[in-house]
Amino acid sequence: MPRDDVDRAFERVPRAPFLPAADRHLADEDHPVPIGHEQTNSQPSTVAAMVRLLDVRPGQRVLDVGSGSGWTTALLGELVGPGGRVLGVERVPELVVAAREALARLDLPWVQVRTAEAGVLGAPGEAPFDRVLVSAMAEDLPTELVDQLADGGTMVIPVAGEMVRVVRGADGVCSTTHGRYQFVPLLPP
């Protein structure tokens, strides 16, 4: 199978620096790894599937909701390149600190991780985004995140056990499902 941009991003952004030091030996394993605070660094095959569904392009503005360790945020940064911007939001301040430390080792100044604003899902003040990735399970499709999509924008989010791809077009919102997955729950910030 030919290598694509997602494969190349995985090669350039190793998982290990985004894992707790005691678990870095698990970086090449295809399973989630706990990162503390009842959160996980997602399974690499799941991350790859989500990022491929998201179809990130150079120069885009991307929102990463539930950025956790920052690994997926960094992968998205590789895909958008220096002409784009990636904003990761995470509700656990300790994970934000760890993600920033890991990101500082990479040359991705267009990638930022910050603590989610209390009571706010996503970053509506900085919308619209071309792409939104959500790495936590929602019970229902959150309209507040759909509203943060630009026209023609795409969001990938696990909802009630299924991976959902949402595209905002001129005629409204279209969503499709892409398999069953398990994630930590999407909690309010």
Catalytic residues: 42
CB atoms near residue 49 (< 10 Å): 17
Instruction: Of 188, 177, 90, give the one whose Cα is nearest residue 144.
Output: 188
**CA distance to 76, 103, 108, 132, 178, per residue, from 80 (Å):** 6, 15, 10, 13, 23
- Sorted by sequence, the CB contacts under 8 Å of residue 169 that are 6+ apart come out as 151, 152
Residue 33: strand, helix, or coil: strand
Instruction: Of 13, 32, 150, give the one whose Cα is nearest residue 81.
Output: 13
> What's the residue count for the chain?
189
**CA distance to 7, 17, 76, 162, per residue, from 44 (Å):** 11, 14, 14, 17
